[in-house]
Amino acid sequence: MEIIIGLIFVTLAGFGTGAGAWPMKIIKNIHFEQYVFYSMLFGIVIYPWIIVLINVPEPILLIKTVGFKPLLISNLLTMAWGVANLLYMICVIRIGAALTGAILSALGMSVGVIVPLVLKGSGLFINAPNLISVPGIIILIGLFVIIVGVTLVSIAGFGREKILGSQSKQIKKEQASGNFRQGLLLVIVAGILSCGLGLAFVYSQGPIIEAVKQQGAGEITANFTVWALVCMGGVLINLMYVAFMMTKNKTWSLLFARKDEILYGAIIGIQFIVSIILMGRGMVLLGILGASVGYGIQQSMQVVGNQVVGFVSGE
C-alpha cells in the first residue's frame, strides 16, 4: 500500500510541477521579474515557513541539530535549481512550454536518477543498490529511452521553428518567440541544473526529518521543514536576480502594479510547494530506490504536465 501511495504522490507531484507554466500563458504582457518574485516568495518562503514556525517548537535548535554540512550541501544544490528555474521560465517564453518541459525534465531526470545510485543519499536512501546491479541496469535502459525521446523532441522543435518562419506575423506573435538554438542551449543547461532540487532532498531529508520528529512534530511538518530549510539557496538566487533586474530597469514600482501577477504568483506558489511535498513524501514511501525511481517518475509526469500546458495554449 505504501508503494502505491508513493507512486500516486510522485505522479501528482510531477504533473503539478510540469503544469506550473500555465499562469505565464494566461497573464497578458507578463512582468516577468515581478511574477517570479511573488511565486518564489509565496511558494518557498511564506507557505512552508508558516507551517514550520507553527508546529516546530524550537526552530533554532532544529537547525543546530541538523548541522552545518547537510544544510550547506543541500542549499548549494537548490541554488543550482534556482538558476534552472529562471532559465526554465525564460525558455517557456522563447521556445514554448511543451518543448522546454520535455528537454529540461528528461535531462534533469538523467542526472537525478543516476547520482543517488552512485553517491548514496541520507536516511533509507543510503541503502540504495549500486548503479552496476540489476535495478541499476534496468534504470540505465530507461534513461537510454529518455535520451532518444529528447533527441526526437529537439528535432521536432527545429521543425516547428521552420514552420513558424513561414507563417503569418499574427500566428507567430501568438506562439513562443525567440531564437530556437539559443533557447535550446539554455534549456539544456537548465535541465542539468534542475536535478538540484531532488538531490537536495535525497541528501538532507534523513537528518532533518529525524530532528523535526525529536521535537514531537508529525510527518507533514517534517516534509515541509525539509523544503523550508533546503530551498533558501534557490530562493536567494531567484530573488537576487529579480531584484537586480528591477533595479537595472527601474521597475520596482511594477511590483504592486498588477493584481493578477500577485494572485497567480500566490496560487502557483501553493501548487509548487504542494507538488514538491508530494514528491518528497512519495520518494520516501517508495523505499530505498525511491530517490531514483521516484524522481524518474516525477520528472516523467512533469513532461506530461508541460505538454498539457503547451497543447491547451495552442503551441
Q: What is the pLDDT of residues 137-176, one digit of tens each?
A: 988 888 788 778 767 776 776 676 667 666 655 544 444 5
Closest CA to 284 of 236, 228, 219, 225: 219
CB-based contact 100:177 (threshold 8 Å): no
pLDDT score recorded for residue 167: 63
Structural domains counted in the chain: 1
Strands (E), the chain: none
- Asked, for residue 243, whether it belongs to a domain, the answer is yes
Q: Is the dihedral of CA 147, 148, 154, 157 positive or negative?
A: negative
Is pLDDT of 13 > 90? yes
- Would residue 114 count as lying in a domain? yes
* Structural domain contains residue 195: yes
Mean pLDDT highest for which of 15-29, 51-65, 188-202?
Answer: 51-65
The amino acid sitting at 10 is: V
Judge whether 96 lies within some domain: yes
In a domain, 158, yes or no: yes
d(CA 142, CA 124): 23
Provide the residue range defining the domain that includes 205: 2-309
Evaluate whether residue 314 is within a structural domain.
no
In a domain, 304, yes or no: yes
Q: From CA 19, how far away is CA 303, in angstroms rounded?
A: 9
In this structure, what DSSP letter does residue 128 have?
A: P
Dist CA 231 CA 7 (whole Å): 24
Averaged confidence pLDDT in the chain: 85
Non-local (6+) Cβ contacts of 195 within 8 A are: 81, 108, 109, 111, 112, 115, 295
**All three cell numbers of 188:** 539544456
- Closest Cα to residue 146, out of 86, 195, 197, 78? 195
Answer whether 221's CB lies under 8 Å from 51's CB: yes
In a domain, 315, yes or no: no
Distances (CA, A) of 305 to 264, 277, 298, 309: 18, 17, 10, 6
Q: CA-to-CA distance for 41 and 57, rounded, in angstroms?
A: 23
For the whole prediction, is pTM greater than 0.85? no
Burial of 309: CB neighbours in 10 Å, binned 0-12, 13-18, 19+: buried
